[in-house]
Amino acid sequence: MDAPAPPWASTPADSPLDTDSNTCSNAGMRWNEQEKVAGLFGVKGLVRSVRTPEFAGMTFHEVLAKSALNRVPKSSGMPFSWTINPYRGCSHACVYCFARSTHRYLDLDAGEDFDREVIVKVNAPEVLAAEVAKPKWSRELVALGTNTDPYQRAEGRYGLMPGIITALADHATPLSILTKGTLLRRDLPLLARAAEDVPVEIGMSIAVHDDTLQQAIEQGTPTTTARLATVRAAADLGFRVTVFIMPVLPKLTDSREHLDAALRAISEAGAHRVVYGALHLRPGAREWFFEWLGREHPELLPRYRRMYANSPYASREYRTWLRARIDPLIDRYGLRGSRDEDYGERGALGTRGDRSATGTSSIAIGAEGLPQLQAALF
């Protein structure tokens, strides 16, 4: 399959401090912003930093990656051995995002910088094509969307995913994609063609089914309605889509009414099954989340501080309570999926086509597996 050339391919690689001719110049940056870019000179392969009027407030730091595939340690317990993350940082800007702390490795902060300073591996499709063409390539499942979202806004500019999907499919490599991005729809025809040759798994994360709350806590994401429509579009093409209700937010999204409405909408959108898990708050996300909660729902702050005082995880009691509340609803809407699709057996998400599975089981992500799993999934 031929993938369209990404927009950056025809753009000359300027010096790191230059920007696109049609973007703001660095001369317009405030001093602390210039320092930020200068700090990134330590990032291997940095080509340049770009701002464009279409992405106001964002800076894209384009890097040439040496490798696109990341090996997942066996000890992680993940149901996949390889991941690809074409972007670091994420404009979806979810307040609770576990990956925030990873931006600190780049001398950027885990708050606004994570949302606005996005590293783009502009050569990821080409590097990947070379990696998977090697005779020694194992052709194991490759997971996308494990750390940051591959269909975040930057993908509209850089168009890396078609080349990545094509490279994997052309080399008999199964893939899974987890996203909140409705830009996925652009690639559904390509994914459907890929699924004729390799297993393709699609997951959509839709945790908040209250428009006001969703816009407040995931302000860079497409609406819940738009994401449900994307699930429908994928289901109509034959994909068995897994929807992730993660994180469930205590006292914000765990009412019976909210969960019932969520599961009904997910079922009506044609999803195959649901995976859920309660909020956990790692350092990085934790400070950012508490700041947001204090602003938006100060009445809940003491309760959350108590709940997450000694651990990044919701308490066992809370998780047991949540399971008792949500499992019957999952059954009611027929969203348990199939036993042979569980983590550790076949993979994380629903696969297109194979309807041979039997038995039922829902998936609740327990605290023990949560750090790694959430890290892997979002």
**Residue number, 289 or 378, with CB nearest to ligand SF4:** 378
99 scored as a contact of ligand SF4 (CB under 6 A): yes
90 scored as a contact of ligand SF4 (CB under 6 A): yes
| Span from 8-16, 41-49, 94-102, 356-364 in contact with ligand SF4 (CB under 6 A) | 94-102
| Span from 28-36, 88-96, 229-237, 331-339 in contact with ligand SF4 (CB under 6 A) | 88-96
**Residue 300 carries which DSSP code?**
G
| Span from 60-68, 89-97, 254-262, 275-283 in contact with ligand SF4 (CB under 6 A) | 89-97
| Span from 60-68, 74-82, 93-101, 257-265 in contact with ligand SF4 (CB under 6 A) | 93-101
Which residue in 68, 69, 78, 94 binds ligand SF4 (CB under 6 A)? 94
Which residue in 58, 63, 65, 93 binds ligand SF4 (CB under 6 A)? 93
- Reading the block at residue 28, the tokens are 């317009």
| Span from 7-15, 85-93, 208-216, 257-265 in contact with ligand SF4 (CB under 6 A) | 85-93
The label of the residue with tokens 């994380």 reads 348
- Reading the block at residue 215, the tokens are 């816009």
3-state secondary structure of 6: coil
What is the number of residues in the chain? 378
249 scored as a contact of ligand SF4 (CB under 6 A): no
Binding pattern for the stretch 138-157 against ligand SF4, x by CB under 6 A and - elsewhere: ----------xx--------
Give the CB-side neighbour count of residue 109, counting CA atoms within 13 A.
8
Who contacts 137 (Cβ-Cβ below 8 Å, separation ≥6)? 131, 171, 173
| Span from 92-100, 226-234, 321-329, 330-338 in contact with ligand SF4 (CB under 6 A) | 92-100
**Residue number, 237 or 375, with CB nearest to ligand SF4:** 375
**Residue number, 60 or 378, with CB nearest to ligand SF4:** 378
CA pseudo-torsion sign 150, 109, 207, 56: negative
C-alpha dist (Å) from residue 377 to 8, 46, 124, 152, 206: 28, 27, 20, 15, 13
Strand order in the sheet with 59-63: 46-50, 59-63, 117-121, 87-88
Q: Are 166 and 372 in contact (CB under 8 A)?
A: no
Contacting ligand SF4 within 156-215 (CB under 6 A) = 180
**Residue number, 48 or 121, with CB nearest to ligand SF4:** 121
Who contacts 55 (Cβ-Cβ below 8 Å, separation ≥6)? 91, 153, 154, 157
Rounded-to-integer distance, Cα 259 and Cα 263, Å: 6
Which residue in 36, 92, 227, 286 binds ligand SF4 (CB under 6 A)? 92
Which residue in 97, 108, 168, 263 binds ligand SF4 (CB under 6 A)? 97
The 3-class SS string of 94-137 reads ECCCHHHHHHHHHCCCCCHHHHHEEEEECCHHHHHHHHHCCCCC
CB of 21 to ligand SF4, least distance (A): 30
**Residue number, 149 or 254, with CB nearest to ligand SF4:** 149
Residues making contact with ligand SF4 (CB under 6 A): 90, 92-94, 97, 99, 148-149, 180, 378
